[in-house]
Structure 1
Amino acid sequence: MQTTEAIIFDLGGVLIDWNPSYLFDNLFDDKEKKKHFFENICTPQWNEEQDGGRSLKEGTELLVDLHPEWKEYIEAFYGRWEEMLGGPIHETVDIFRDLKQSGKYRLYALTNWSGELFPIALERYDFLHWFDGRVVSGDEKMRKPFPEFYQLTLNRFDLKPERTLFIDDNLRNVKAAEDLGIQAVRFESPAQLRKDLEARGLI
């Protein structure tokens, strides 16, 4: 069985429930309008630019200039961003706690997250302080799935890819880690993650 010395967690969708629908379901009474908004205006690709270091102000103003008729909704995306946070994914936090208390592994976070918004999460979620180190895309001006972001993390914490396990809910990000020789698990549910970790002999 492969030796694992370090485990890297993604945050959003794995340890923290973040979903724009928590806010926008209250702002849109038309499902098709909401669908159009996320597919054509505040797209995941646009949000990732802020995760990668573009300021929230610049990203917002860019879209308002392009789509002034959507101004209210565009400004709500970051203006009311905290309403998109659904809280901890408690069962995954329990797994994280078990790994931490075992004392067997170094534990890290690698997240695509705006550097302007991450301090809110740090204040809100105590378990973010359990990590041995955190790498936040907005602070580093790079993001998943680009290989240099993973390599930065490996180098910073002196991690060997073949002895490091990466957990992420995004298959694109999982494959990017595997391409660098990092062990990886795609997160689908806390129960599935626990089963995968047990099969690897990690918990």
Structure 2
Amino acid sequence: MKIKNIVFDFGGVLMDWNPRYFFKEYFNDDEKMEYFLENIAQSEWNEEQDRGRLLSEGTEIQVKKFPEWEKELRAYYDNWTVMLKSDIPHNVEVLRKLGKTDYQLYGLTNWSEETFPYALENYDFFQLFDGKIVVSGTEKLIKPDPKIWHVLLERYNLDAQESIFIDDNPKNIEMAQSLGFNTVHVTPETDLEKELIDLGVKFD
């Protein structure tokens, strides 16, 4: 089947976000930083904000649980923009090339509704999606819940078999495959353009 649509995850594919970019200097102690990120401000907690919980609410919940870490927890979302270090240039370059083709470009991202506007305003390549972006925090659904892919498919009237889904999370790739998508699992070593060409994408 001919590929018509290319769906991008953002974090780890087009954007380099990592709380360590802020907390490394904040703690100046890698062991303490890793303890904090694994046990106090763990990814499962952050994901609830990506699912639609308010940043302020998420912070208060965690401060109540870990009052001795209050200062660090409040610093988390206050310094969120430092954690969004930059785009990932080689993948953004592929996106820009795709923007000059007839393929339809879509975004499907686990991202807080409150912080996503910052990325939209500060990185011009998001304009290539023409607003066709499904944000977990807005939908109150989060990958790998299959329902969020159904939101994308139904909202834009897409056929999964005519679409390529690109993500850095193996669980999301697995779910997308089970829904009929062609997929590219992105790692730091991935040559995204080559992977897309292998799936039949033409850049000319």
TM-score band w.r.t. shorter chain: over 0.9
3-state SS of paired residue (1:45): helix
The alpha carbon displacement at 1:189 in A equals 3.5
Q: Percent identity?
A: 46
Say if 1:11 and 1:109, in contact at 8 Å, map to a contact too.
Answer: yes
The alpha carbon displacement at 1:91 in A equals 1.0
The alpha carbon displacement at 1:31 in A equals 1.6
Q: Deviations over 1:115-174 (max 9, x none)?
A: 001111111011111104011010111110000000110000000011111000011111
> Which residue does the alignment assign to 1:127?
125
Greater Cα offset, 22-31 or 111-120: 22-31
> Which residue does the alignment assign to 1:30?
29
| Unmatched segments (≥5 aa) in structure 1 | none
Correspondent of 1:113 among 107, 111, 114: 111
| Unmatched segments (≥5 aa) in structure 2 | none
Say if 2:3 and 2:200, in contact at 8 Å, map to a contact too.
Answer: no
Distance in 2 (alpha carbons) for counterparts of 1:40 and 1:154: 36
2:158 aligned with 1:159: yes
> Which residue does the alignment assign to 2:77?
78
Q: Deviations over 1:74-102 (max 9, x none)?
A: 11110110010111111111100111102
The alpha carbon displacement at 1:68 in A equals 0.8
The alpha carbon displacement at 1:188 in A equals 1.3
The alpha carbon displacement at 1:199 in A equals 1.5
Distance in 1 (alpha carbons) for counterparts of 2:37 and 2:174: 25
How many residue pairs align between the two structures? 201
> Which residue does the alignment assign to 1:95?
94
> Which residue does the alignment assign to 2:175?
176
The alpha carbon displacement at 1:201 in A equals 2.7
Say if 2:50 and 2:113, in contact at 8 Å, map to a contact too.
Answer: yes
3-state SS of paired residue (2:25): helix
TM-score (norm 1): 0.96
